[in-house]
């Protein structure tokens, strides 16, 4: 996955915070991602705490995660076709 797959800037910010945490041995749970966004001063721009925590409910299972990735890839393909 790459940040460019996410059509919305706030979702890219969240993904980049998660990726940073994973690459640097930080917590990749919602609290760790929230802390990273807060440290960067980007929590509000990323949708706020409620939005980030709401993603946890949306992607709570591995099955939902795979479907979400598929939607992102489909959206990216449509964007490329549209030019």
Q: What is the pTM of this model?
A: 0.71
- One digit per residue, the tens of pLDDT, for the chain of length 83 reads 788 888 889 989 998 998 999 899 998 888 899 999 999 999 999 999 999 988 877 665 545 556 666 676 677 777 778 86
Cα gap 42→61, rounded to integer Å: 26
Count CB neighbours of 26 within 10 A: 15
């Amino acid at each position: 996955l790459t940040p460019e797959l996410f059509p919305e800037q706030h979702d890219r910010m969240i993904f980049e915070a998660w990726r940073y945490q994973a690459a640097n041995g930080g917590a990749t749970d919602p609290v760790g991602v929230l802390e990273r966004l807060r440290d960067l001063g980007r929590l509000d721009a990323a949708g706020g705490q409620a939005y980030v925590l709401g993603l946890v409910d949306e992607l709570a299972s591995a099955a939902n995660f795979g479907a979400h990735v598929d939607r992102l890839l489909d959206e990216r393909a449509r964007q490329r076709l549209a030019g």
